[in-house]
Amino acid sequence: AGAETVKRAVELDLASRFQESLVCYQEGIDLLLQVVKATKDEAKRHRYRQKISELLFFSDGKYHKQIRIEENATGFSYEKLFQEYLTDIVSEVWVEDPYIRHVHQASRYSLYNFLRFCEMLVKGPCKVKTIHLLTSYNEGSGRSQQISGLEEIQQSLRNCGVTLNIAFSSSIHDREIRFNNGWMIKIGRGLDYFKKPQGRFSIGYCDFDLRPCHETTVDVFHTKHTKKM
């Protein structure tokens, strides 16, 4: 399976389909790492490690893609934005966003947005087991509501077999999402790029593909991020 995946990666690379080839390289590396762990023969383990080193060289090319979301644009649900990077080897996710704290505010429903993001991860096709959230505390009386909401999400995820680790920082400013298959997504507005719905029964209230967005940019990178041999 690893050999076939690597062969496919090379074919995609030659066809200049770099994004897809990076995904295949990463999957091939992970499959070979599993073989290394299961192999007792030290000579074979050495050969596999050499092959993995070669693949890391080929798959470590810099990749950067930018998506611009225009004001009031639709069709940018979390599924549309993230799904192609959530391959079945994704098991761990890091979310850094200082504003996962509001429930009721003019245009910010960040706790609900984070919940929707978690729902997407639970649905798959990835096999997420751990989500790490780094955010900042809400100010004033909203802090207890923020903590209560996050703990409820944490318990609900636990019921689905997913661990949510929550940490707070007073100095966090950047917004980025990382998957353990090497993909990193930076959104100018974080997860909170959707506009407030016009009403509880307006189109786009439930389906975020139909929800108008605020103007923002999405930067997609690929980084060398593999398990240790």
Confidence of residue 36 (pLDDT cuts 50, 70, 90): confident
Residues 6+ apart with CB under 8 A from 35: 2, 48
- Dump pLDDT digits (tens) for 149-202: 999 999 999 999 999 999 999 898 889 999 998 889 999 999 999 998 888 899
Whether 70 and 172 share a structural domain: yes
Whether 85 and 116 share a structural domain: yes
Query: Is residue 178 in some structural domain?
Result: yes
| Number of domains the chain is built from | 2
Query: Is residue 11 in some structural domain?
Result: yes
The CATH number given to whatever domain includes residue 168 is 3.30.870.30
Whether 75 and 57 share a structural domain: no
Confidence of residue 55 (pLDDT cuts 50, 70, 90): low
pLDDT score, position 113 = 93
- Dump pLDDT digits (tens) for 65-111: 889 999 999 999 999 999 888 888 899 999 999 989 765 543 346 89
Of residues 213, 205, 170, the one with CA closest to residue 189: 213
Which residue segment(s) compose the domain that 203 sits in?
65-222
* Two tokens, residue 3: 């050999």
Whether 3 and 26 share a structural domain: yes
Whether 52 and 89 share a structural domain: no
Mean pLDDT of 202-207: 93
Query: Is residue 227 in some structural domain?
Result: no
- Dump pLDDT digits (tens) for 115-147: 999 999 999 888 999 999 999 998 777 788 899
Query: Is residue 229 in some structural domain?
Result: no
E strand intervals along the chain: 63-69, 92-96, 130-135, 163-168, 176-179, 183-187, 216-222
Cα distances from 226 to residues 30, 177, 183, 209, in angstroms, run 7, 16, 11, 32
pLDDT score, position 101 = 78
Residues 6+ apart with CB under 8 A from 179: 85, 86, 90, 92, 93, 126
Where among 30, 62, 94 does a domain terminate?
62
Whether 158 and 98 share a structural domain: yes
Q: Starting from the edge strand earliest in sequence, which strands make up the sheet with 183-187, in order? A: 63-69, 216-222, 183-187, 176-179, 92-96, 130-135, 163-168
